[in-house]
Amino acid sequence: MKKQTKTYVLLGLVALIWGLIGFRILGALSPQPAAAPEVSTSSFSPTSVKERDTFSIVANYRDPFLGTLATKAKKKIPVRRTAPKETVPAVDIRYTGFITDKNTRQKVFFLSINGQQHLMSAKDKIENVTLLSGTRNTVRVRIGNKLRTVTLTQ
């Protein structure tokens, strides 16, 4: 082959390759609308789920290191809870002293209830506190349904 023939063959080959590249670029820039793929409708039926096989290990053999048998776990006894009883709110009561009327012999006691001082005689009721009786050193009071003895404070 002559030198010019080789050049013409190679020139044709280069033109063919550049032609293919140009054709692909033009095809990508102006694509033909592709036909929509057919969607086939089929019924769906889920496969059945197999239940797991469960097992338990019974380890009631002798311990190889200690040489003892395994002990059975003790059953837990449920704790029975009773309903909480109604509690009377805590009342701060302090007995600070008393005075006696000479003519009538009636005693008047000084009680401090929740920080407020009151003068009370027997069977008086203030703030759900009833004074039942009293002596020189103590008084008996009823708070709601509970009895309480309060000693003299100085």
Share of the chain above pLDDT 90, in %: 31
Q: How far apart, in whole angstroms, are the C-alpha atoms of residue 154 and residue 137?
A: 11
pLDDT at 138 over 90: yes
pTM of the complete model beyond 0.75: no
Where residue 56 falls among pLDDT bands split at 50, 70, 90?
Answer: confident
Q: What is the mean pLDDT of the chain?
A: 84
DSSP tag of 152: B
| Secondary structure of residue 29 in the 3-state scheme | helix
> Is 110 a residue whose pLDDT tops 70?
yes
Asked if pLDDT for residue 103 goes beyond 80, the answer is: yes
Q: How confident is the model at residue 70 (pLDDT cuts 50, 70, 90)?
A: low
| Structure-token pair, residue 83 | 């309903």
More confident residue, 60 or 108: 108
Length of the chain: 154
Please report which confidence band the pLDDT of residue 140 belongs to, taking 50, 70 and 90 as the band edges.
very high
Q: With beta carbons less than 8 A apart as the criterion, state whether 109 and 120 touch.
A: yes
What was the pLDDT predicted at 88? 57
Residue that wins the pLDDT comparison between 114 and 56: 114
In sequence order, what DSSP letters do the residues of 41-102 get, joined into one string? P----PPPPPPPPP------SB-TTT--BPPPPPPPPPPP-PPPPP-PPP--EEEEEEEE-T
Question: In this structure, which amino acid lies at residue 113?
Answer: I
Q: How far apart are CA 153 and CA 5, in angstroms?
A: 133
Q: 23-27, 28-32, 81-85, 147-151: which has the highest mean pLDDT?
A: 147-151
**What is the number of other CB atoms lying within 10 angstroms of the CB of residue 152?**
17
Q: Are strands 116-120 and 125-126 parallel, antiparallel or unpaired?
A: unpaired
